[in-house]
Structure 1
Amino acid sequence: MTQTLTLKDRDLFWPPADELTEAAERIRARLGDWPPTHAPWRICLTAPDEPNGGDLIVIADAQQHGEQVARWLVRGAGVIEAAEDKATLHLGGEKYRLEGHLAEDWVAALAAFLDCGFDPHDALVLALAWRDGDETRADDAFPADLSHFPRLAGLPDALAQAFPRCPDRLGLYPVLPTAEWVERVVGFGVKTVQLRRKSSEPAEELKREIARCVAVGRQHDAQVFINDHWQAALEAGAYGVHLGQEDVHTADLAALAAGGVRLGLSTHGFYEILRALHFRPSYIALGAVFPTTTKVMPTAPQGLRRLARYVRLLDGVVPLVAIGGIDLQVLPDVLATGVGCAAVVRAVTEAADPAAAVSALQQGFTR
């Protein structure tokens, strides 16, 4: 049972629209048990006199409202340009361009997904995945058919051939800070690891570190991924590289594919999942599942409920990796979502006995 149906207790739409509110409540009731958001959003079908930072102003053509749009954005509001089968969200200096079906109830669906706590760009993706009447077909009508999801416009062309696919269930995936750690953990029998070096070390030292990792991977028949440093990884003949969302625009993906390098991509929500799928990677990382101190995250923790939704949507489509704040205590809950791989950092590198920690984590995948 949904925790809250308090949509009528606040201004969801401008101008107020009882029918839209009722439709949003019907949809929200079928989306599952999501904690209500406290974000002060409002969907404006007519521009308000004084937009605020929570407003999403829906218009048909941004060019016709050029100066107004600029003022709205400066005030912190978002603008959704929606017409025919296209919707573009202008927010925070970014443009999120989507192409797909706009159901008659798409605005009500957008309100329902915003109330579930999804950021505007992810809520808009889900609203375009919505189909009129979905709320009548199941107790849980959350979008789970990838063919219904919108396409992202304005992306670079994808490669003609997908990157080599990783095993569907990669298992334990330690992310490690040095080649010494990689050698140590691979020696414990781990078959998938990642070198993530964030220091500004000299290029030659970095290349030596990567070469050591590649060598130990070949020696132990392990799959070693290199984070970020794709050029050095390619030169060293690494098994794979792991990149962030921003890196796909600067890395030479064609050269990586030609070199037979596997590609893993980070994602932090539905919009970024669609962007990652466009580039046909070897696996997609989903996170951060829990709070983490190992890096500054661009989004709030996703949590197990969202992870389960991602797995349900993408199972069989691409191998998946859960990442972020995962340790032995929460590993059973993570694996219960159906994900076949969990990346860990501190659960290994800060363990009093790393060998014992690795053994316990590996056993978690066999239960």
Structure 2
Amino acid sequence: MSLLNREVFWPPADELIEVAERIRARLGDWPVAETRWRICLTAPETPQANDLIVFSEAHDADAGRLTEQGAAVLEAHEERVVLHRGDERFALEGARSDDWLAALAAFLDCNFEPHDALVLALAWRAGDEARDDAWPVDFATFPRVADLPPAPEGGFAPCPDRLGLYPVLPDATWVERVLDLGVRTAQLRRKSTASDTPAVLREQISLSVEAGRRHGAQLFINDHWREAIAAGAYGVHLGQEDVQTADLNAIARAGVRLGLSTHGYYEMLRALHFRPSYLALGAVFPTTTKVMPTKPQGLARLARYVQLLSGRVPLVAIGGIDAQAMPGVLATGVGSGAVVRAVTEAPDTAVAVSTLQQMFAGQP
């Protein structure tokens, strides 16, 4: 048991550590935590970088001072919990059990980042360790992300629950080529180059949207939501950071579907608030196609995400997936797998697409 023989709570709290060890024993095998967090029930005189300091009410001045010293701060008051870590702030609302701090220690030990471990700790209920599967999967117990702007009225247009093979492609030529091979879900992810102008970008989007229309395909545009609306695109795919700057109401009013990237429990809950057309879950494996802000999720986490969200919103697994990895990805129950290099760098595009498509043939 990795919680034993080390400082988990400060000051030492025997009862809490006993509960934390009992919970941890029921969560299964997870990688050893990269950071050995210490949950401080009172503020230490000399905070450490791996301290998570808990206050039972708002202490904005103390939170600022302690985070500047490298610690993380949790303010827990009534049904609201706010995590301060560096310049980031994570606010959650919902009922919590008496065991939530012990559960937090257990989920931190499973190598979840503090904001994701906090989501799971707040979803934990006393007695869950007695169930055959103790992992929190009842969506009704999960907290809500607080302090978000209202979601667009009516939400976004729906898309199929299972989007199947989902190639992410660099230009309109690739979009046309892949749709010609029978793919019915694809994304144009146009990376800016020195030769790109607004006119070139609009042309690439227009050609891709037209190809999608002719093939009866679900063609998503990455990032460029204004141009996607103007071209009449089927959908737009945005990252978490784009939610703060994109006009979600304009996208919804245009009838354009919205896919949102997520990288863990907190971001999934945040994305669900906006009622998107689908969620992308990743990166499942290491990827070189873009710089990722988070470590790879892995199949064990992906399976838990699908278990929690399946039937609630269409799900797309993304990040480092190739033909060798795809069977394991689909075994989690996810309805779509996004690929990049597995198609664009394949020696034979047609063979690669056919091989991947066959893997989805047995899905319901």
Q: What's the TM-score once normalised by structure 2's chain length? A: 0.97
Q: Is the Cα contact below 8 Å between 1:53 and 1:75 reproduced in 2?
A: yes
Distance in 2 (CA, whole Å) between partners of 1:252 and 1:103 is 37
Quick check: 1:104 aligned with 2:91?
no
Quick check: 1:232 aligned with 2:220?
no
Q: Which moved more, 1:144-153 or 1:197-206?
A: 197-206
Distance in 2 (CA, whole Å) between partners of 1:332 and 1:77 is 41
Distance in 1 (CA, whole Å) between partners of 2:13 and 2:327 is 45
**Which ranges of structure 2 fall in alignment gaps of 5 or more residues?**
none
Distance in 1 (CA, whole Å) between partners of 2:28 and 2:222 is 36
Q: Which residue of 2 aligns with 1:26?
A: 22
CA offset at residue 61 of structure 1? 2.7
Counterpart selection for 2:145 from 135, 152, 158: 152
Q: Is the Cα contact below 8 Å between 2:116 and 2:264 reproduced in 1?
A: yes
Q: Which residue of 2 aligns with 1:285?
A: 280
Alignment of 1:92-131 (within 5 A): 92-131=86-125
Q: How many residues align structurally?
A: 360
Q: Which moved more, 1:229-238 or 1:31-40?
A: 31-40
CA offset at residue 325 of structure 1? 0.3
- Give, as a single letter, the amino acid of the residue that structure 2 aligns with 1:54: N
SS in 1 for 2:53: strand
Q: Is the Cα contact below 8 Å between 1:197 and 1:227 reproduced in 2?
A: yes
CA offset at residue 249 of structure 1? 1.5
- Give, as a single letter, the amino acid of the residue that structure 1 aligns with 2:117: A
Deviation per CA, 1:231-251: give whole Å up to 9, x if none: 000000000000001111111
Distance in 2 (CA, whole Å) between partners of 1:124 and 1:6 is 19
Q: Is the Cα contact below 8 Å between 2:63 and 2:84 reproduced in 1?
A: no
CA offset at residue 35 of structure 1? 2.0
Alignment of 1:310-349 (within 5 A): 310-349=305-344
- Runs of 4+ displaced beyond 4 Å: none
Q: Is the Cα contact below 8 Å between 1:84 and 1:102 reproduced in 2?
A: no
Deviation per CA, 1:278-319: give whole Å up to 9, x if none: 000000000000000000001000000000000000010000
CA offset at residue 208 of structure 1? 0.3
Quick check: 1:84 aligned with 2:78?
yes
Quick check: 1:178 aligned with 2:174?
no
**Percent of aligned positions with the same letter in both sequences?**
66
Distance in 1 (CA, whole Å) between partners of 2:167 and 2:33 is 33
- Give, as a single letter, the amino acid of the residue that structure 2 aligns with 1:203: P
Q: Which residue of 2 aligns with 1:165?
A: 158
SS in 2 for 1:263: strand
CA offset at residue 356 of structure 1? 0.6
Counterpart selection for 2:360 from 345, 362, 365: 365
- Give, as a single letter, the amino acid of the residue that structure 2 aligns with 1:253: L
Q: Is the Cα contact below 8 Å between 2:287 and 2:320 reproduced in 1?
A: yes
Counterpart selection for 1:35 from 22, 31, 39: 31
- Give, as a single letter, the amino acid of the residue that structure 2 aligns with 1:25: E
CA offset at residue 328 of structure 1? 0.4
Distance in 1 (CA, whole Å) between partners of 2:215 and 2:2 is 57
SS in 2 for 1:7: coil
Q: Is the Cα contact below 8 Å between 1:32 and 1:140 reproduced in 2?
A: no
Distance in 2 (CA, whole Å) between partners of 1:282 and 1:179 is 23
Alignment of 1:261-300 (within 5 A): 261-300=256-295
Q: Which residue of 1 aligns with 2:11?
A: 15
- Give, as a single letter, the amino acid of the residue that structure 1 aligns with 2:181: F
Q: Is the Cα contact below 8 Å between 1:174 and 1:348 reproduced in 2?
A: yes
Deviation per CA, 1:53-75: give whole Å up to 9, x if none: 11000002333x61x32231112
Distance in 1 (CA, whole Å) between partners of 2:57 and 2:133 is 34
Q: Is the Cα contact below 8 Å between 1:86 and 1:102 reproduced in 2?
A: no
Deviation per CA, 1:133-179: give whole Å up to 9, x if none: 1112x132110011110011110101221211111111000000011
Distance in 2 (CA, whole Å) between partners of 1:62 and 1:148 is 24
Distance in 1 (CA, whole Å) between partners of 2:66 and 2:224 is 39
CA offset at residue 38 of structure 1? 3.0
Q: Which residue of 1 aligns with 2:136?
A: 143
CA offset at residue 40 of structure 1? 2.3
Q: Which residue of 1 aligns with 2:44?
A: 48
Q: Is the Cα contact below 8 Å between 2:284 and 2:297 reproduced in 1?
A: yes
Distance in 2 (CA, whole Å) between partners of 1:309 and 1:328 is 22
Q: Is the Cα contact below 8 Å between 1:97 and 1:152 reproduced in 2?
A: yes
Deviation per CA, 1:300-345: give whole Å up to 9, x if none: 0000000000000001000000000000001000000000100000
- Give, as a single letter, the amino acid of the residue that structure 2 aligns with 1:36: V
Q: Is the Cα contact below 8 Å between 1:110 and 1:123 reproduced in 2?
A: yes
Q: Is the Cα contact below 8 Å between 1:170 and 1:192 reproduced in 2?
A: yes
- Give, as a single letter, the amino acid of the residue that structure 1 aligns with 2:90: Y
Distance in 2 (CA, whole Å) between partners of 1:279 and 1:153 is 12
Distance in 2 (CA, whole Å) between partners of 1:334 and 1:10 is 36
